Amino acid sequence: MSHIRVAPELHLILNPTTGVIAEEREDVVEYSLDNVRTKLDELDKFVTDMMNQLEPNAPLLSMFPGRERASYNVGIITNAFFGAVIGFILSFLVLVLLKIGGI
């Protein structure tokens, strides 16, 4: 936590984020959270990247430029492939049933 000593002889400090002048006390422990904030900013990048993975058009953190729709296009190709495979299997089963049934 950063603060400005307004009057060191009177033990007055100013908190620049809130604009409050307060008395500096000996029984209050101050700890700087600047290092924690940098780590949280780094984690926020990863969380945003994980949320972008749910959207097929969103750019990912380690993606090269111009590949924003790669997940969308690969999804279409994968679904078409599996649709064709399932269609072939079902048509084979129908042909086998027709052959066995004698129709």
Confidence of residue 8 (pLDDT cuts 50, 70, 90): confident
Give the residue among 5, 6, 4, 7 at the shortest CA–CA distance from 17.
4
Q: What is the pLDDT of residues 17-74, one digit of tens each?
A: 888 888 887 776 677 778 888 999 999 999 998 888 888 788 888 888 888 888 888 9
What average pLDDT score do residues 75-92 get?
97
- CA torsion sign for 42, 68, 72, 63 is negative
Rounded to whole angstroms, how far apart are CA atoms 13 and 33? 18
Phi then psi for 22, rounded to 5 degrees? -135, 170
Domain edges within the chain:
1-32
Q: What is the pLDDT of residue 95?
A: 93
Q: What is the pLDDT of residue 15?
A: 82
Q: What letter represents residue 68's amino acid?
A: E
Sheet holding 12-15, edge to edge: 4-7, 12-15, 20-23
